[in-house]
Structure 1
């Protein structure tokens, strides 16, 4: 039996997308018009405005799991440099077996609201590598692993980056707290690609609604939402005006 939305998507994406459209699970529609390119696999793909990226651009892809097709397509299309982050054992092992291009750099660290180690639940289902740090009744695994995480500000200092042109996060429910921490630190990625995990891990829809409202209030325009209604793409409207 499937234990997560992503596993079902992986097995029958057209069916699940049709079901989501019928259920009207999309909480938001785009409010900003951009030229959107769909990059990556059906499972790990995303909509993105590649026209805002150049070979000098820096992209962070956080929570890569075992699918970096979006990251590799982004490099092919724009020539930018991508830093992939994931501290979980399955992802680290998988990345070690891959032939990576020169412009892709893997960092075995996760993102959090403070620097240190936190426990992740490792799923018992071998078909999925999605680990979460949330204490959720839907995450039944008793297998825990301690992994290093850092704030976005600390990751940028570690790598010597003063800005990020694109930040993509698939962090299994931690996105709400991490987004608050990012903006409290003063960091302002020019594009934000976020997977929201409402209706997973016992999370209601209200945190996603509040997060999108906050992002809009901070001057971010929502320019793409997936058919699944979880993957969102935002652009910093202030950057477009500068």
Structure 2
């Protein structure tokens, strides 16, 4: 009797396909291959953003239930209950978790501990030609800014802090041309007359001074002035139904001398403007030094879900004119 493969040629085809599949699956992966997405990453970004929206919308309902449980109104909720009644115990941060899913990779840039920040999708601006970063609060600790420079090709960083006179030593000399420092402060109103020291500017004034209409990454650490400054900044955008002029925000929150109701109102202003927290961590260094049982400083990272910033929408490709076909592939519109 003839062998099976002679009687049925499909048999040998099946064997060859099975062997090829086995060799492919067993082949060692290239562990050194870079995981660097292109400037036009996954096409399902709108679906990921929509899923993140649904997850966060559930959180909004859960917060209302939690306020009723411990309130029943915001005025009845304590930031940090002084004893074990009510039980189970809670703190203010339990009402405001970072429940929004960043639709990209989340990476800590800068030093572990104080100084580093969590960023959503740094690869989205890796090759962005007009990448702009603003950093308020330097204090000679610039590891965050240094890693942004190391992870991007074109990002320009504007730093502001009236308590120091330069970026920290972490900025390499070779990257210094991409940094710009001024000893100014961030405030809700301009105060930069001849007798004003330090000089204070609103974010809009600084952006106009620098010729910018949009900021990709905004870092703010201004020792509790974030409440007045961000409220003043945000309200006109809410009133005009326009998106905020930045893609994401890294913010240290200093919840000193506030009531829960006041903090809730401020936080809901951020949410109304389109800011969604995707990462948080308490400032345990501060808590360790004070040892008073409260943790009233926390780091938050927010994504702006309104508008068309690079973190929530892919850039639009420009179709080439007839004369451009064959010369080069279409590229992004600047």
- TM-score computed with the length of structure 2 as normaliser: 0.51
Could you say what the CA RMSD is over the residues aligned between the two structures, in angstroms? 2.8
- In the aligned structure 1, how far is the partner of 2:118 from the partner of 2:166? 27
- In the aligned structure 2, how far is the partner of 1:96 from the partner of 1:149? 25
Structure showing the higher strand proportion among its residues: 1
- In the aligned structure 2, how far is the partner of 1:154 from the partner of 1:57? 19
Counterpart in the other structure of 1:86: 161
- In the aligned structure 2, how far is the partner of 1:197 from the partner of 1:181? 17
- In the aligned structure 2, how far is the partner of 1:71 from the partner of 1:84? 9
- In the aligned structure 2, how far is the partner of 1:164 from the partner of 1:37? 19
Counterpart in the other structure of 1:181: 232
One of 56, 61, 64 as aligned partner of 2:138: 64
Q: CA deviation at 1:214?
A: 1.6
Counterpart in the other structure of 1:225: 280
When Rg is computed on C-alpha atoms for both structures, the one with the higher figure is 2
Counterpart in the other structure of 2:208: 157
One of 11, 29, 36 as aligned partner of 2:106: 36
Counterpart in the other structure of 1:106: 181
Structure 2 residues not aligned, in runs of 5+: 1-88, 238-243, 284-296, 315-334
Structure 1 residues not aligned, in runs of 5+: 1-21, 119-144
Say how many residue pairs are matched.
Answer: 191
Change (3 A) 1:241 1:87: same
- TM-score computed with the length of structure 1 as normaliser: 0.69
Q: CA deviation at 1:212?
A: 2.4
Counterpart in the other structure of 1:211: 266
Q: CA deviation at 1:115?
A: 1.1
Which segment drifts farther, 166-175 or 75-84?
A: 75-84
Change (3 A) 1:43 1:206: farther
